Amino acid sequence: MLAYPQKARRDQFESTGAPPRRIVLLGERLTESGNWEEWFPDQPILNRGIGGDHTAEVLSRLDSAINEPLGVLLLIGTNDVAAAVPLDESLANLRGILSGIEVRAPGTPVVVQSVMPRGRSYAQEVRRLNIGYQEVVAEAAESVRYLDLWPALAADDGSLRQDLTFDKLHLNGQGYREWVALLRPIVEAWGRSR
């Protein structure tokens, strides 16, 4: 059952729909919490993050996110790991998300971002999910690619670098700066295509 903030945000997205020709950031709390319009003030950004979402929730709400997008930046899966969603189920949901985007907006470029590191105790499961994500992306349409965030964000033990977080899961300002630096070339290239 969805918590009130998830329901409220989801309902608003369904009510407003997605404006066309936007760069869609699709995912969970890390996406929702980003000040994307300020990080990318000259780009047509659409934030479709909902805190607490699993891959299944994102799959079920594609209609309120995808409307002729310039591109989609997808970050989803950390909540699947925390809830012990079976790996096969998470990967099937990712396949569904990618094919759902392709059906709604054929040929749209999609970047599947690796699930970010979090506390060290989750490192092994997150790595397994990311390996699975890479395999799904390799089977997907040519317009889909994988972006590994770990080299910039992970400590040696597989946790989120301490200087990038307040709580071993959510990013602080420096964490968003590191993430934005990885996304900037992609966003700017998509923005030029409008």
Helix, strand or coil, per DSSP, at residue 17: coil
Q: Are 128 and 87 in contact (CB under 8 A)?
A: yes
Phi, psi for 97 (deg, rounded to 5): -60, -50
Q: What is the CATH number of domain 4-192?
A: 3.40.50.1110
pLDDT at 4 over 90: no
Q: Are 119 and 159 in contact (CB under 8 A)?
A: yes
Tens of pLDDT, residues 180-191: 999 999 999 999
Domain-by-domain residue ranges, the chain?
Answer: 4-192
Question: Which band of pLDDT confidence, cut at 50, 70 and 90, is reported for residue 193?
Answer: confident
